[in-house]
Chain A
Amino acid sequence: MSHRLATGGRLIDRSTSVRFTFNGTYLRGHAGDTLASALLANGRTLVGRSFKYHRPRGIVASGAEEPNALLGLGKGDRFEPNQRATTTELFEDASTTSQNHWPSLDFDVGAVNTALSRFLPAGFYYKMFMHPRPLWKHVYEPFIRKSAGLGEAPAAEARDPDSYEHFHIHTDVLVIGGGVAGLAAAKSAAATGAQVLLIEQTPHWGGRAVVDGGEIDGVPAETWVNATLQTLEGMDNVRIRTRVMGSGVYDHGYALAYERIADHAPGGEAPRHRLWRIRAQKIVTATGAIERPLSFAGNDLPGVMLAAAVRDYVVNYAVAPGKRTVVVTNNDDAYRTALALHDAGLEVPAILDARAEGGGTLAEAARSRGIRILTGRGIAKVKGRKHVTGVAICAQAGEGTVLDTIPCDAVAMSGGWSPVVHLWSHAGGKLTWNAEEAFFQPDPKRAPNTHDASPVVFAAGAANGQLGLAEALSDAWSAGGAGEGAPTAAPRDEAPMRPVWVMPENAKPALRRKAWLDFQNDVKVSDVMLAAQEGYESVEHTKRYTTLGMATDQGKLSNINGLAILSQSLGEDIPAVGTTTFRPPYTPISLAAIAGEARGALFQPIRKTPLHDWHEANGAQWEPVGHWRRPYCFTRPGESKHDAVIREIDQTRSSLGLLDASTLGKILVKGPDAGRFMDMLYTNMMSSLKPGFCRYGLMCSENGFLMDDGVVARIDDQTFLVHTTTGGADSIHAHMEDWLQTEWWDWQVWTANVTEQYAQIAVVGPNSRKVLEKLGGIDVSKEALPFMRWTDGTLADIPARVFRISFSGELSYEIAVPANRGRALWDKLLEAGEEFGVTPYGTEALHVMRAEKGFIMIGDETDGTVIPQDLGLDWAISKKKEDYIGKRAQARSFMASPDRWKLVGLETLDGSVLPEGSYAIGEGRNANGQRATEGRVTSTYYSPTLKRGIAFGLVHNGPDRMGQEVAFNRIGGEPVRARIVSTMFFDPEGEKQNV
């Protein structure tokens, strides 16, 4: 049965036919339809099942507030659940499915919940499923998950094929909302010369006014809208855009907007969504108002709709939600629906006006067309199972005694309007209660403020509580900032509305249990009353207890009705109870839009050294180190990582290894006070270092904890080159600037982070000197370049700085060359090193070799709670210096305690490798009843040099217990016994490096 009217339909193009499917059935609509209007046009009024009771549900609204018509949209990689039919434009071959039904939409097993609904009251889950606790995980939770929930998640293997992006925009004025108020505000702002961005969430301009009619500046509203658009489009200082929703307003004029570029035209090259990140000097929220439902029994049956939505479907899409529509209202506005239906040749058997005194001019208009108006009447109950078949009428001032029954196939309800105050409220705008209209509206005296405490958000039009056309336009014009020239219209001519929170006023429990507040989360009048009875006084607590307003529509329809019921039950005024908090986004936005371009190859920047490509082509097994990728090891065909590491170490210790050390931080520190500054940064003395020399040093945080280490080279009298760990390059540079800019601003010191200027290659092993001599150009002999010295020169025709330093215990050089020439040096080293079996090695070999030599590693031996003294590094802490960063902290009693765990070497008795993070098992139990511990493993490796497992650990009184045995736990196994030994496992005299 087609519900499409023969004529009319502002937004549809009747010359087109668009095919789509609903639960596998082919249907047709027109270009310009939404999914909702197309479904209604096809007579599909049942579109889903409710969340908790699986009740049949139909389309209620025509916009963003729709609670019921959430569909699964698309297939496979493009499938998305919970797509709002009322805001989704119809497109060719759209595939839609209803949700939350099993086995089918028409026959749903879960609907039995309806029969049991009196046993599933508010807080049921809390009350029922608390005990016994073990049942939660295996019985209750799986059961609840299966029976509740909205749409299904996309398939695990699905991959979104579309692209997304962000767009950062600065503007003077952002106007959110393209109704007549938004257009007037934009025009007004533009007239002041301001740069204006006007956005509208739907594809169409004009909002309600173009449906509801009226004249602006002496012409029909729609004519005015088109003329105003033309004016705005012609202005250089104005940008206007549809399909962009104001999603959130944040501090100081920052707003997010969500553009749906390709939802209605999927599969193209364009990004699907674009997230606008807008910085505005001023934001005007012209977001309109949302009509409230009335709470009568059966108000959730398919066929019961908001009155304004009914006329939207008739006027915009030429779709008749019903052939015979009963209008029920507490205000004049709903009479417009009766008139629109009547104009379209549809039957309106009655208007039930809950007001005893009835309506004003609009009511007169309806009466003059012969429409029957019953005042002081309401709906006792809606008749029907899956669709409205009639309404039982009662007196509003009563308990619901049925006076008459009117057969009908649709009900248009209106409980009044609520301004959309969401965006106003996001950044802290406060609300005030308007008792005449029974709604919360923005309080301009308590607007969201910007940096200078002046208002930055201005609400305009219906969003500011101005429901009349003239009033809204004049309000919006003044929000825009211009003086004279506001558009004019006839003043509002409506009789006062009367708040109706339950229909009828004294509805019996049986009726209250069928009167829905929150359609999406299945919360009824009786649930909120029960919550109040059980002691819930705070609206925020009641929300969580009953789940009122917690669904994907965030209570756009239920909020005010729910808190009115709560305040009534508590005997409080509505403003005293207040509203729940409005939080962004206004309606759900895609996670992909939030991620923007950050997916796939752009998910996260990967930092690459100048040698990255070589590594990649030569078997590098990558390890993430910060954002860098460093080779963990280089495997050869058929070789395991373990074997590769052993080969790399053996070859380096016996002949020649190469390490890409480019990621190490390199920071220049220069100035007359550089020495003094270095002495504060490091625990040891750096000012005494002579040009040409290198020194290892430790850096602590203000709290005394060891945070970085590395080799410092003194370049000249005023210049030091600081080497930091890979991860420390940026943070240590920031640490330096922090102290220089905030504490020692009068010290003459400059820093520069030159980390990426250089490729740095460690040439390591007994043959390292020979290979450098082959390259030629710099004297690297023992005499010319002793241990812990550096020199500048030209190595193999490349300008180079050579440091004679060692992190492996071998004869070793680190060579820094301009990054663009790093690969050239690497290639030359490989070529010259061929006769020595030159072997590039990775981070794991680096770690093992440093551990064999007893060198600590920041991040292994330290974790932010370790001080140098814990690691036996007292030798690197100057006793002569008056101060250094962390010195005071290290003097505190806890830091100086002899009971701190201290670093030792560990050797398992059986030669095995201790587990990572293993704990030394102590005597007895601690205060929490857990097994006491007396130490932990910080680093543990298989040492190919010693052919056994070696480890470092922090152990209670460790250095005093040399030779003692300690047991370390092993998850799922017997503890391992290890002997406490020196951390210097290999070549303790340093004979290998000092050659």
Chain B
Amino acid sequence: MFDATPPLARARQDGRVSVECAGLTGMVTLRGDIAAIGEPVADATGLSIPDTLGIVEDGGRALAWMSPDELMLFCAYDEAEEIAATLTAATAEDHALVANVSDARAMFELSGEEAALRETLAKLTPADLRPDAFPPGTIRRTRLAQVSGAIWLAEDGAMRVICFRSVADYVFSLLCHAARPAAAVGHF
């Protein structure tokens, strides 16, 4: 995608917790009765359907539970349009809405000690980030300071953060501010 540029393409801060822009990511939103569209979606994506608050990852793709009637597929940016078309066809028999929203959001990746990642996010979100309440394989749609966002601990150990692209600058600055080594709490 020669001329597609995500917001803050080169933004990065290193430290106890490193914050960087995750680059172009495919995202496809699905709305429908998950019980009905689950099977066709699983077939089309090769992923199993996540439980409530769950996210399943496999081979560069992930499928996240976003609400009782909403899923989000993460995939390669280049394949999103085609997958969206496949999913639209696969769910044609059911009442469902599929849309490629790969450009609507920015994604950030936070890396570091897991406790430090949880602590960094706890400065911004009221969600319960204790390991029991927020283990890998779960996703939280929540508030990050003054804007909405979603967070999950990926299988590779990184904390992923998505927000709307219009506030990418704000969220990047927020994450960097929260991740400052001097502001470590040592709580988690």
Shortest CB distance A238–B (Å)? 12
Residue from the list A195, A270, A752 in contact with B29, Cβ < 8 A: A752
Residue from the list A166, A610, A627 in contact with B123, Cβ < 8 A: A166
A270 to B186, CA, bound (A): 13
Count how many pairs of residues, one from A and one from B, have CB atoms less than 8 Å apart in the complex.
140
Interface residues in B115-160 (C-beta closer than 8 Å to A): 122-130, 133, 145-147
Q: Contacts A279-B128, A819-B104: A167 and B167 contacting too (C-beta < 8 A)? A: no
A-B contacts besides A269-B180, A668-B97, 9 pairs, CB < 8 Å:
A166-B123, A167-B185, A170-B129, A277-B126, A605-B147, A608-B168, A671-B95, A754-B101, A820-B24
Q: Contacts A608-B166, A756-B105: A597 and B97 contacting too (C-beta < 8 A)? A: no
Query: Hey, which chain B residues are within 8 Å of A544, CB to CB?
Result: none
On whether the beta carbons of B103 and A750 are closer than 8 Å, the reply is no
Chain B CB within 8 A of A670 CB: yes
On whether the beta carbons of A239 and B187 are closer than 8 Å, the reply is yes
Query: Hey, which chain B residues are within 8 Å of A757, CB to CB?
Result: 99-104
Chain A CB within 8 A of B173 CB: yes
A271 to B177, CA, bound (A): 10
The count of chain A contact residues (Cβ–Cβ below 8 Å) is 51
User: Which residue on B lies nearest to A274, using beta carbons?
Assistant: B185
Chain B CB within 8 A of A163 CB: yes
User: Which residue on B lies nearest to A269, using beta carbons?
Assistant: B182
Chain A CB within 8 A of B165 CB: yes
On whether the beta carbons of B99 and A608 are closer than 8 Å, the reply is no
Query: Hey, which chain B residues are within 8 Å of A109, CB to CB?
Result: none
Pairs of residues from A and B, 5 with the lowest C-beta to C-beta distance, nearest first: A269-B182, A607-B166, A750-B97, A819-B103, A824-B3
On whether the beta carbons of B4 and A821 are closer than 8 Å, the reply is yes
Task: Give the B-binding residues of A (Cβ under 8 A).
Answer: 163, 165-170, 195, 239, 268-271, 274, 277, 279, 596-598, 601-602, 604-610, 627-628, 668, 670-672, 748, 750-752, 754-758, 798-799, 818-821, 823-824
Task: Give the A-binding residues of B (Cβ under 8 A).
Answer: 1, 3-7, 24, 29, 31-32, 69, 81, 95-97, 99-105, 122-130, 133, 145-147, 164-171, 173-174, 177-178, 180-183, 185, 187
On whether the beta carbons of A818 and B4 are closer than 8 Å, the reply is yes
On whether the beta carbons of A598 and B145 are closer than 8 Å, the reply is yes
A754 to B185, CA, bound (A): 38
Name which of A167, A596, A628, A757 has the most chain B CB atoms within 10 A of its CB: A757
On whether the beta carbons of B95 and A752 are closer than 8 Å, the reply is no
Query: Hey, which chain A residues are within 8 Å of B124, CB to CB?
Result: 166, 168, 597
Shortest CB distance B32–A (Å)? 7
On whether the beta carbons of A165 and B178 are closer than 8 Å, the reply is yes
Shortest CB distance B164–A (Å)? 5
Q: Contacts A598-B145, A609-B166, A819-B104: A170 and B31 contacting too (C-beta < 8 A)? A: no
Query: Hey, which chain B residues are within 8 Å of A605, CB to CB?
Result: 145-147, 167, 170-171
A212 to B177, CA, bound (A): 44
On whether the beta carbons of B130 and A163 are closer than 8 Å, the reply is no
On whether the beta carbons of B145 and A750 are closer than 8 Å, the reply is no
Query: Hey, which chain B residues are within 8 Å of A268, CB to CB?
Result: 182
Query: Hey, which chain A residues are within 8 Å of B69, CB to CB?
Result: 750
A627 to B164, CA, bound (A): 13
User: Which residue on B lies nearest to A609, using beta carbons?
Assistant: B166
On whether the beta carbons of A756 and B166 are closer than 8 Å, the reply is yes
Query: Hey, which chain B residues are within 8 Å of A606, CB to CB?
Result: 167, 169-170
A274 to B183, CA, bound (A): 9
Query: Hey, which chain B residues are within 8 Å of A610, CB to CB?
Result: 7, 165
A166 to B178, CA, bound (A): 9
A596 to B126, CA, bound (A): 14
Shortest CB distance B142–A (Å)? 10
A169 to B130, CA, bound (A): 8
Shortest CB distance A126–B (Å)? 42
On whether the beta carbons of B31 and A750 are closer than 8 Å, the reply is yes
On whether the beta carbons of B174 and A818 are closer than 8 Å, the reply is no
On whether the beta carbons of A820 and B185 are closer than 8 Å, the reply is no
On whether the beta carbons of A169 and B182 are closer than 8 Å, the reply is no
Shortest CB distance B24–A (Å)? 7
On whether the beta carbons of A820 and B170 are closer than 8 Å, the reply is no
User: Which residue on A lies nearest to B3, using beta carbons?
Assistant: A824
On whether the beta carbons of A671 and B97 are closer than 8 Å, the reply is yes
Shortest CB distance A272–B (Å)? 11
Shortest CB distance B76–A (Å)? 14
On whether the beta carbons of A170 and B128 are closer than 8 Å, the reply is yes
Shortest CB distance B155–A (Å)? 24
Residue from the list A170, A597, A607 in contact with B130, Cβ < 8 A: A170
On whether the beta carbons of A750 and B32 are closer than 8 Å, the reply is yes
Q: Contacts A239-B187, A606-B169: A195 and B146 contacting too (C-beta < 8 A)? A: no
Query: Hey, which chain B residues are within 8 Å of A195, CB to CB?
Result: 130
Query: Hey, which chain B residues are within 8 Å of A670, CB to CB?
Result: 97
Query: Hey, which chain A residues are within 8 Å of B167, CB to CB?
Result: 605-608, 627
Query: Hey, which chain B residues are within 8 Å of A824, CB to CB?
Result: 3-5
On whether the beta carbons of B99 and A820 are closer than 8 Å, the reply is no
On whether the beta carbons of B174 and A597 are closer than 8 Å, the reply is yes
User: Which residue on B lies nearest to A271, using beta carbons?
Assistant: B183
A79 to B36, CA, bound (A): 63
Query: Hey, which chain A residues are within 8 Å of B173, CB to CB?
Result: 601-602
